[in-house]
Amino acid sequence: MAAEPTGAGPATFQARVLALVARIPPGRVMTYGQLALLAGAPGAARQAGQVLNGLMGHTELPWQRVINAQGRISTYKVGVGEVQEGLLRAEGVAFDDTGRCDLDTLQWWPEDAPDRAVPPAPLW
């Protein structure tokens, strides 16, 4: 079953992604797949990543709070992984020796998320 976009919010996928990113609290994270799901496009993790890729360094939005489904930073390959890691660490996000953060503790779900009652299996 496809998730409906969170709230009545913005009409385009890009606008919904950006609106969700703006809501992620400091010290918490979302995954790209989770972001796509909540923006109404389950399975569109790459597209969510592409939306954020255009923002890095050019916005006040907390783009750094979006990571991959393994709890790792994926932006090293585009040259901003160190920046993202530093920003997250400054917010109190800890990473283990393998570069993972604890998604069970740090993953944020909006209160109005339709799938909040039953956390989805990590399919992304």
Provide the 3-class DSSP secondary structure of residue 31. strand
* pLDDT 10s digits, 4-23: 444 556 689 999 999 999 99
What is the reported pTM?
Answer: 0.83
Fold of 13-106: Arc Repressor Mutant, subunit A (1.10.10)
- The pLDDT tens digits for 82-104 are 999 999 999 999 999 999 999 99
Q: What are the residue ranges spanned by the domains of the chain? A: 13-106
pLDDT band at 56 (very low <50, low <70, confident <90, very high): low
